[in-house]
Structure 1
Amino acid sequence: MRFYYRRCRPIEPNEIQILSTYDHSKANFVSAIPRLGDGRIEVDLDSKVCRTVAKLIPFPHDEKQPPSVPDYIQPAICDVQLNIVIQVVGSRGDVQPFIALGNELQLHGHRVRLATHDVFESFVLESGLEFYAIGGDPTDLMAYMVKNPGLIPQMKSLRNGDIQRKRSMVAEMLRGCWNSCIGHDPVSKVPFVADAIIANPPSFAHIHCAQALSIPLHLMFTMPWSSTRAFPHPLANLKYSTTEPKIANYISYGVVEWLTWQGCLWLFLPLPSGLHPAPELDSFLRSGSSPVYIGFGSIVIEDAVGMTNIILQAVKSLRIRAIISRGWSNIGEVSSDDKIFYIGDCPHEWLFQHVAAVVHHGGAGTTACGLRFGRPTAIIPFFGDQLFWGNMVASCGLGPRPIPYRSLTSTKLAEAIHFCLQTEAKSAAQHVASRMGHENGVAAAVASFHRNLPVNDMRCHVFPSEPAVWQFKKSSKPRMRLSKLAAEVLVGHSRLHLGDLQTYYAQPIHIENRRWDPVTGTASSLIGTSTDILKATGDIFYRPYQELSRVPRSSSESDLNKSSAVQSRRINFIAEATSLPDSSAKPTSKLKATGAAMGGSAKSVGKVVGYGYKGMLVDMPLAVSEGLRAVPRLYGDEVKDHGKIQDWKSGATFAGKNFVHGMADGLSDIFTQPYKGAQEEGAKGVFKGIAKGTLGMTSKVSSAALGLVAYPAHGMMKSLYTATHSKRSKLIAQARIEEGKYLSEHSHKGLGKNRQTILRNFEAACRRTADSGSS
């Protein structure tokens, strides 16, 4: 599997060329609706919107030659042993490379937990990793993606209730991902609190879990998720006429999403040892020429019978042998014969060594595995990045042009397979396999993870091989950092008390809603506030109905039974609509229900008032101020960073800095901008400078004045939120205390020696603090 992650070598344009399947003549706008129904986004770089966005994307104009030994394969030392949770949402092909990564991390002394769907429990546990179920059904997810490959679902899915079911599934996975960070091991009941998170982007909760725990987050994905000049974003259909191709490719990533990752490798599980095929499969492989593999893995195809007929007709027309994987769609007929053999689950790492070519959906893992063994590849893409990989394969001569599954016919499939069986395709595939054989993707991925960890900031001061999660409040600044084990040992030996400790934030994460200009900033804030008010207004009437609908309408036995049945259906409906935790709750009494109804209505009235005041006094002034502050970025100037707002104090500091710099820079722009323009473009630059100076003065001075109110108010809201949402912090602290106790109580190699080391280093640190204080 290929992983893309931070600070790795960019692919150079001369390494891979991509063939465009985009019809530039028919798209003249930026659309969020994929034109081909395959999940891609149509992006017109000649449009006004894209030209504006392009100005906000920093483009590296200086080409740098890659070093003789790329930095992404250099080893990185991490002597701190971490609890690492790997969160993965997707199919088996998405999970498998993270198992390889987890096994490699274990070799470095880390404790690794893989959190994914329940169906992969045995797959993960058999690899030697800890498993944590996050819920969700990957079969349903794949079926939904096949039916709705784009960003906007089809009406059929809306009518069938697919959206509500998907939302419920996502909510379940969000809870599961959070629990995987602090929950005990489901089997051994050993406590676990994550010190770092590795995740694929579709796991949704990763950034929020990392923010709550203030721990490092490392995103890895199986498709290009970084800005590069070599090819456009896999999910972007590009149209451009005036933009240079390299720049267009680079900008496409910023248009689809702001990205920060670079580079790529393949990651594979080790080849299975001692694996023997079923006797029937072994007999089939030995009884004739090498077959062609045809399968679509985890893709759930609506018309499995139709797909089966297409495959069989193509195979028969070519008079070849084939192995057909039934996959999650259960394609194929009842029984095999001497020409066609049907299989269920079989490791691709073994099977692809025994076939002549592979035909599949274009998943990154399956594509990588086929090319790893030098097998020509034909790709039938369904959605997402699959068309991208199909184009990559075709551009390198490893297979034919990809055939979108909706346009697949037996004739087209037969032509694609015929292409793969030619000598030229086989030679190209062998060449790529030879190049891939020189990569050690797993080791490189672990090195990247270690390189990007703030190891020195994570290290415990008295037990350096453990990550710090506490600070000793009575020590001098910078305060002494302590690990879970160190804190428990010190508390157990009466060197300190739990009250002396406070949470240490190894890598705080601040998520801000970035504003690009005052117009869109104000509009988005207004829409958000209006939405909150409308929802709360609806609850004024809906909450009473919700409570009263739980009360039986008749007290007679027969009427009660009838009412209970109706009520049960009503409650189930309400629970589905509002995500109630228990849709089978018992009916309440009329008096109690009436009180609850009145309370719910009153609470909703309070929310209406609260949202209104918050929007008018905090959100909208902040949006306008931030939008005004961002205006200089639109014409190429930098915007000063005044730090992060975390509480009322940092909010006031931010407001002060913004006022001073805004007033000073705004007033000076009237003179400096025309001068800069004259130096760069002469008389023409002077006029541009006057326009920039005027705009800069207006925006900066206005932001400075309005920010005196907006930023302190924003800081106070954050302080209030922190004060009223302390339950999460207490939950995290308790989980860390429990793990510390477990580590201290359960004997393991060197524990006694570790205790002495902790006590000795703590006393030495305290003496140094005392000496520095007396001097």
Structure 2
Amino acid sequence: MPVCVVAIDTRGGIQPYAALALGLQQAGHRVHVVAPEDFTDWLTGLGLDAVPLPGRMDDAARAAAEAGFSRGVVPRGMREQLLRQSLRHARALLDYADGADALLGGIGGAVLGVDVAERLGIPFVHAHLQPVGAVSAAVAGVLTPWIPAWTGAAGNLIGSAITESALALPFRAASRAVRAEVLGLPPRRSRPRSSRLPVYGFSRHVVAVPATWDVTGYWFLPEDPAWTPPAELVAFLGSGEAPVCIGFGSMASADPAATARTVTEAIRRAGVRAVLLTGWSGMSDIAASDDVLVIDQVPHSWLFPRCAAVVHHGGAGTTAAALRAGVPAVVVPHGVDQPFWAKRVAELGVGPRPLPRSRLSATSLAAALRTTLADDGMRARAAHLAELLSAEDGITTAVDHLSRGLTQTK
């Protein structure tokens, strides 16, 4: 069955969909992945049929950081840019998806994918990395971690309702324009035809959701047998105690030099060795030294288990990789769903209280590192959770579920 996977996200958010696409492909489905153009070569290298959407996600991330886009509210200066990009993406996606029996994607993919699927008369399969897609008394709102747990079911209802609205509202104007100018569709009055899915790529050991939800476990890429670690990284890891790994992935900073100074000073104050992953965050101004190795990026599945702790931004994909590694995590959430995952890490006892980006300082980060590294119970809980996650096969479970569901929609 031909399936088009729409993956519009940062690297950490696209990687699980690449893993799922490979699983579907190995199960005999004809799959092609549509993603921003800066990921096309990487996806093709994995063995996937990948086609580029116009524009680069790293450029979009930097523009969003400069405009202050972090919590789902599109700044006024970005609205015209979002509209133009949506029209370009919709035209490309309509062409790429022609001939598919279904479109599949998460929050980013659904922004335009739902409308394109309606135009093509095929289902859009919601495949989420977060517990979204329903207003529920049983699940806390992904975008409202500030609602206290003691509010119970009422708080969950309010939080999930706010989350569903916040995920849709910023893109409503773009959707209207796409439907009118590209797809020739009237304003949406009801949900388009879909399957009995969705499916969720996280673990019930991490987020408790109703038994009726199809939660499969995380979607991890297989290890690349051809990849070898840089010699300088191997030498650094072997030259002393296990370091901490610090990286904020795709979270571009408006002042990366200041972030670099903060992180460097925190490392010195905490008295730890560290591997710094610069990624898109721009922390390239950190000078390497005997106790600090600066490197662009390394597969998390290889590096994280070799570290004493991980400091990260709390994206869904990075959080999953850190949990699977079995080491504690200090989460510095920047926005969107990251505060939710940061809160879950703390509630599970595998990391300290979240350290929001607005409160990040050399003092606060050093204190969080000292607390984390001294907590034997936290380290034991992280290792136990990793064992539970390793027993799950999220890809196989998701592929079996999707194969049955897609067959029933034909």
TM range (shorter): 0.7 to 0.9
TM-score w.r.t. length of structure 2: 0.82
Asked whether the 8 Å contact 1:222–1:364 carries over to 2, the reply is: yes
1:200 to 98, 106, 118: 106
CA distance in 2, matches of 1:231, 1:416: 28
In structure 1, the residue corresponding to 2:250 is in which secondary structure?
coil
Asked whether the 8 Å contact 1:230–1:249 carries over to 2, the reply is: yes
Give the Å deviation of 1:336.
1.4
Asked whether the 8 Å contact 1:272–1:349 carries over to 2, the reply is: no
Give the Å deviation of 1:411.
0.9
**Percent identity for Structure 1 against Structure 2:** 30
Asked whether the 8 Å contact 2:2–2:31 carries over to 1, the reply is: yes
CA distance in 1, matches of 2:148, 2:311: 33
Amino acid at match of 1:213: L
Asked whether the 8 Å contact 1:86–1:115 carries over to 2, the reply is: yes
1:119 matched residue in structure 2: 38
Give the Å deviation of 1:127.
1.1
Alignment pair present for 1:236 and 2:144: yes
2:8 matched residue in structure 1: 89
CA distance in 1, matches of 2:315, 2:73: 22
CA distance in 2, matches of 1:368, 1:165: 32
1:177 matched residue in structure 2: 93
1:98 matched residue in structure 2: 17
Output one character per residue of 1:584-640: Cα deviation in whole Å (capped at 9) or x when no partner: xxxxxxxxxxxxxxxxxxxxxxxxxxxxxxxxxxxxxxxxxxxxxxxxxxxxxxxxx
Give the Å deviation of 1:452.
2.4
Give the Å deviation of 1:136.
2.6
In structure 2, the residue corresponding to 1:384 is in which secondary structure?
coil
Amino acid at match of 1:172: R
Output one character per residue of 1:260-295: Cα deviation in whole Å (capped at 9) or x when no partner: 953432110112324321111111111111110000
Alignment pair present for 1:378 and 2:297: no
Give the Å deviation of 1:151.
4.3
Amino acid at match of 2:243: P
Give the Å deviation of 1:206.
1.1
CA distance in 2, matches of 1:202, 1:274: 31
Give the Å deviation of 1:359.
0.2
2:363 to 388, 402, 411: 411
1:304 matched residue in structure 2: 256
2:279 matched residue in structure 1: 327
CA distance in 1, matches of 2:311, 2:50: 32
Counterparts of 1:280-319 in structure 2, within 5 Å, are: 280-319=232-271
1:210 to 117, 129, 144: 117
Asked whether the 8 Å contact 1:266–1:368 carries over to 2, the reply is: yes
Asked whether the 8 Å contact 2:143–2:162 carries over to 1, the reply is: no
CA distance in 1, matches of 2:272, 2:148: 44
Output one character per residue of 1:467-513: Cα deviation in whole Å (capped at 9) or x when no partner: xxxxxxxxxxxxxxxxxxxxxxxxxxxxxxxxxxxxxxxxxxxxxxx
Asked whether the 8 Å contact 2:53–2:89 carries over to 1, the reply is: yes
TM-score w.r.t. length of structure 1: 0.45
Rg: which structure is higher? 1
Amino acid at match of 1:174: A
Counterparts of 1:37-116 in structure 2, within 5 Å, are: 82-116=1-35
Distance 1:419 1:271, change over 3 A: farther
CA distance in 2, matches of 1:334, 1:307: 9
CA distance in 1, matches of 2:38, 2:151: 47
In structure 2, the residue corresponding to 1:328 is in which secondary structure?
coil
In structure 2, the residue corresponding to 1:257 is in which secondary structure?
helix
2:131 to 202, 206, 224: 224
1:660 matched residue in structure 2: none
Give the Å deviation of 1:434.
0.7
Asked whether the 8 Å contact 1:399–1:416 carries over to 2, the reply is: no
Give the Å deviation of 1:144.
4.2
CA RMSD for the aligned pairs? 2.2
Give the Å deviation of 1:355.
1.0
Asked whether the 8 Å contact 2:142–2:159 carries over to 1, the reply is: no
Distance 1:439 1:135, change over 3 A: same
Give the Å deviation of 1:164.
2.4
1:420 matched residue in structure 2: 372
Amino acid at match of 1:293: C
Paired residue total: 360
Output one character per residue of 1:133-171: Cα deviation in whole Å (capped at 9) or x when no partner: 1113212332344312234445xxx4xx43322322222
2:183 matched residue in structure 1: none
Output one character per residue of 1:546-583: Cα deviation in whole Å (capped at 9) or x when no partner: xxxxxxxxxxxxxxxxxxxxxxxxxxxxxxxxxxxxxx
Q: Which has the higher helix share?
A: 1
CA distance in 2, matches of 1:238, 1:334: 33
Distance 1:339 1:238, change over 3 A: closer
2:202 matched residue in structure 1: none
Distance 1:103 1:143, change over 3 A: same
CA distance in 2, matches of 1:416, 1:206: 41
CA distance in 2, matches of 1:251, 1:406: 25
Distance 1:255 1:303, change over 3 A: closer
Counterparts of 1:334-349 in structure 2, within 5 Å, are: 335-349=287-301
Output one character per residue of 1:311-332: Cα deviation in whole Å (capped at 9) or x when no partner: 1111001111000011113204
Asked whether the 8 Å contact 1:134–1:180 carries over to 2, the reply is: no
CA distance in 2, matches of 1:231, 1:238: 14
Where do 5+ consecutive residues of structure 2 fail to align? 168-196, 199-212
